[in-house]
């Protein structure tokens, strides 16, 4: 099994999550910066998988090492699946939750269903593979918790937000955690070399 790969991200939170899940398997996850890669490709795909593939290909071509890239976002049923692939650009940084709560202001609790979706792409010399993870939940009425980022403070899993969960709790149910566990199973079967 491979012992080193590069994660195509400049997001320290995503890198931390990937390291927490992959490190116990003996896989060292390097940041783009640690791999000497400086690129920020235009994520102009229409799906999470397309955007992850764009990032993976750009970083792989720059460093030649095995690469993982992810694209993820929040899909809210009452908003027709928005913000979806536009989750990171839905509102100015730090104002995403406030905008979402505003848009859902008059939506009753039973219609506030949502899910986080994540696609992870692994790119190696032998090709690429795509893994998907989902985390079902709903959108709360206020921001709570300080352990998360992005939409975590308003995304409810049971009676707590993702931002109220410990790192271990979140990794065990998160969309990124689920996609990374699929990747781990794939690698454990001897694939992706």
**Catalytic residue numbers?**
71
d(CA 175, CA 170) in angstroms, rounded, equals: 9
Q: Is 56 helix (H, G, I), strand (E, B) or coil?
A: helix
Write the CA distances from 152 to 94, 115, 142, 163, integer angstroms: 12, 11, 11, 5
Residues in contact with 111: Cβ distance below 8 Å, sequence separation at least 6, in sequence order: 77, 78
Q: Please, what is the end-to-end C-alpha distance for the chain in angstroms?
A: 7
Q: Is 145 helix (H, G, I), strand (E, B) or coil?
A: coil
Element (H, E) at 63: helix 48-63
């Amino acid at each position: 099994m491979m012992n080193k790969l590069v994660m195509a991200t400049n997001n320290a939170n995503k890198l931390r999550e990937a390291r927490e899940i992959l490190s116990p398997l003996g896989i060292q996850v390097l940041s783009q910066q640690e791999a000497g890669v400086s690129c920020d490709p235009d994520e102009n795909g229409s799906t999470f998988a397309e955007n992850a593939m764009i990032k993976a290909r750009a970083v792989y071509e720059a460093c030649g090492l095995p690469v993982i890239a992810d694209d993820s976002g929040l899909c809210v049923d009452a908003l027709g699946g928005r913000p979806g692939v536009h989750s990171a650009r839905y509102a100015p940084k730090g104002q995403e939750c406030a905008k979402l709560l505003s848009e859902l202001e008059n939506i009753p609790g039973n219609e506030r269903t949502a899910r986080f979706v994540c696609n992870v792409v692994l790119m190696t010399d032998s090709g690429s593979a795509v893994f998907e993870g989902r985390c079902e939940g709903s959108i709360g009425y206020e921001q709570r918790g300080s352990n998360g980022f992005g939409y975590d403070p308003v995304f409810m899993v049971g009676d707590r937000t993702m931002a109220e969960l410990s790192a271990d709790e979140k990794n065990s149910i998160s969309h990124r955690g689920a996609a990374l566990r699929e990747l781990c199973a794939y690698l454990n079967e001897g694939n992706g070399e």
